[in-house]
Structure 1
Amino acid sequence: MATETPLKGFIPELDYEKEMNRWSHVFKFLSEPEPEVGHTPRNEVWRKNKSVLWHYPAKQKKYEIPLFFVYSLFNKPYILDIAPKVSVIEGLTNSGYEVYLLDWGSPGYEDKKIGLDTYIDKYLRTAVKRAIRHSEADEITLVGYCLGGTIASIYASIAEEPIKNLIVATVPIDFKPFVGPDKWAEGMRNGDMNIDHFIDVYGVVPPQVVDGMFRAIGAPIYFTNYTMLLSRAHDQRYVNKWRRMNRWTLDQVPFAGEAYRQLANNLFKENKLVKGELMIGNKKADLKNIKANLFVVSGSRDNLILEEQSKPIMDLVSSEDKTYFVVETGHVGLALSGLFAKIVDQWVSTRSNQL
């Protein structure tokens, strides 16, 4: 007497030839050399320690006021120039802007004493002065992405330099909302997580630890990107984009110990920026000192920086011209797609003294 399998027809038959082709494609991609990044022509303007100020000339200069990019200390900034046609920097130079980018570099153990105050008051301030002098402009536009937006905002609150526009995207300002394991926030704020002891031991935060932090925040979907690669291995355009994104994701940098200590204690733990209590050297970084035209961009699908972390800056600054803009994208997708260049151009073009 024959018996029928209840699941027959429910589970699709495996096409071994198709699966072998799929996996061979994946293994081929993963064994190839890393894709090139940073295609937009540039030249070095200034260097201090590991940090470099890069200038990206406009293809045909249309605006008097240059753009100065400040990126996060956690990652390398080539996400802003990831590939031709989707590069944020290329899009802006093609639109007629002179663009500058401060690349913080990768700190070594010898840089363990560099704090946020040093990065902002010594590195960023000097770089902005050099960019203004190099461009022969009277004013400048600061553009900060992620933690770079936080740093740009702090600097703008104490700057003596002429900042006409401040643009911040996916920016954490209010650190009370926390994205990540609840125990992390609880441990950091009640003192169970001893950041000071960790920094005293390591000197700098190793890139493996930085990578682990982002994995924990992204759990349990961290490996989704590999699943997507497997399912779309036949799409060469998608694979090229995936490989560049994967390179950047895994290419973490060390974090200077003193800077991380200040970030953890003064911002994550005590939320001093929102309270107006943050000190940079002997200056109080009060956001109400900011009078520059302000443009804030958030991603509605950003699972790293929430809108409620970015929105408070709108009420804390003294700017008369301020705009809050929400894009239907994620944290990295805003830069990876090149969309950010179009959004910035649309807003800043009327505020950059067209030639």
Structure 2
Amino acid sequence: MASSTLINIPAASLENERARWNAIYKVLTEPKPEIVPTPRQAIWRKNKSVLWHYPAAEKKYETPLFLVYSLLNKPYILDISEEGSVIGNLTKMGYDVYMYDWGTPGLEDRNITLDQYVTNYLEMSVRHALRHSRAEEISLVGYCLGGTMSAILASITDLPIKNLVLAAVPLDYSTFILPEKWVKAIQDGTLGFDQLTDAYEVIPSQFLFAVFMALQGFNIGPNINLITRGHDPKYVDKWRRMDKWMKDSVSFSGAAFKQMLKEWYKDNKLVKGEMIIGGKRMDFGNIKCSLLVITSTRDELVLESQSLPIMDLVSSEDKTYELVEAGHVSICLTGQFAFAVDPWLSSRSKVMQPN
């Protein structure tokens, strides 16, 4: 007589499986999560761009922070959730925070150059932040290409920048994350995107998203993580917010795109000090303020070697380099970036005096 064996599956395992597949169904069928920003006020607008002010919960420092994110992505990764908000954590630490949102250019913006983005947009917005805050000095905090633009501005402006923080910032384009043959082809001019740029005039967000994914090797890791950790509600919420942000790309001015590829990627003018911005030759040697450079161990988009050269190019006497355990995006997604910069900034920011 044949015997049968019953498999006893623990109730907890069944509950986890239900939670896992319910979460996956939710991701596939429900609208993207709503991103509720830290309390803020728009204090200046120019074209598509907005300067936001996030007041400190209890103001501890007179020196405000001015955050600059990449031109290629939307900046709400810095304020993605209440728990993981870089901006929210900084305001809780006592900083008044300003954040510049470049906006998404339309066809009418196709001729905006990097020069104009630096001088007509970024520099003007910092001036407005200084006026609004009534502060004597400001800390400029740039991330990724926002750091590149911040470093360029700091090298040509007369604004009172007390501290400069550059995180995951690409400055040296002698090498970058692309197949070696592609790097050489861009540098010798045999590979270019002029025809694409001329055809579209403004680079479509879909193209930039495809490039972003290709640079990460079309990483399927996050999808696998969702399946394996779908029973964890906190992880699923964070995954859905990240997924929304990654797919919510921006377009890019054709003129700025051409200039970036030629002057940065091909000619490497930034570290050579050969780029002309607003009629001025930029030179990182003009930077004398306190400098913090941060790179991360698992950065899949910006090489450490692209950030480090500025340490030797600036004239700053107070300069610090930190390597943190994180990825290019995860350091913002988790809010870790706020805790990475606070110890350095807090000792270099003017403390509020009691009334």
Q: TM-score, normalised by structure 2?
A: 0.92
Instruction: Output aligned runs, 1:85-96, within 5 Å.
Output: 85-96=83-94
Instruction: For residues 45-70 of structure 1, give each alpha carbon's deviation from its aligned partner in whole angstroms, at most 9, with x where no partner exists.
Output: 00000000000001111111100011
**Alignment correspondent of 1:153:** 151
Amino acid corresponding to residue 37 of structure 2 in structure 1? H
| Secondary structure of the structure 1 residue equivalent to 2:327 | coil
Q: Is the 8 A contact 1:181 1:217 kept in 2?
A: no
Distance 2:235 2:16 in 1: 19
**Alignment correspondent of 2:115:** 117
Deviation at 1:187, TM superposition (A): 2.4
Instruction: Output aligned runs, 1:119-268, within 5 Å.
Output: 119-220=117-218, 222-268=219-265
Deviation at 1:39, TM superposition (A): 2.5
**Alignment correspondent of 1:83:** 81
| Identity within the alignment, % | 53
Question: What RMSD in Å do the two structures reach over aligned CA positions?
Answer: 1.6
| Secondary structure of the structure 2 residue equivalent to 1:164 | strand
Larger mean CA deviation between 236-245 and 192-201 belongs to: 192-201
| Secondary structure of the structure 1 residue equivalent to 2:258 | helix
* Deviation >6 Å, runs of 4+: 15-21
Distance 1:29 1:216 in 2: 23
**Alignment correspondent of 2:42:** 44
**Alignment correspondent of 1:323:** 320
Deviation at 1:23, TM superposition (A): 3.5
Q: Aligned to 1:342, which of 335, 339, 342?
A: 339
Gaps of 5+ in 2: 1-12
Gaps of 5+ in 1: 1-14
Deviation at 1:19, TM superposition (A): 6.6
| Secondary structure of the structure 2 residue equivalent to 1:177 | coil
Q: Is the 8 A contact 2:19 2:231 kept in 1?
A: no
**Alignment correspondent of 2:4:** none
Distance 2:114 2:36 in 1: 27
| Secondary structure of the structure 2 residue equivalent to 1:53 | strand
Query: Are the structure 2 counterparts of residues 120 and 27 from structure 1 closer, same or farther at C-alpha, using a change threshold of 3 Å?
Result: same
**Alignment correspondent of 1:34:** 32
Deviation at 1:183, TM superposition (A): 3.4
**Alignment correspondent of 1:312:** 309
Deviation at 1:21, TM superposition (A): 6.6
Q: TM-score, normalised by structure 1?
A: 0.92
**Alignment correspondent of 2:9:** none
Q: Is the 8 A contact 1:75 1:253 kept in 2?
A: yes
Aligned length: 340
Amino acid corresponding to residue 77 of structure 2 in structure 1? I
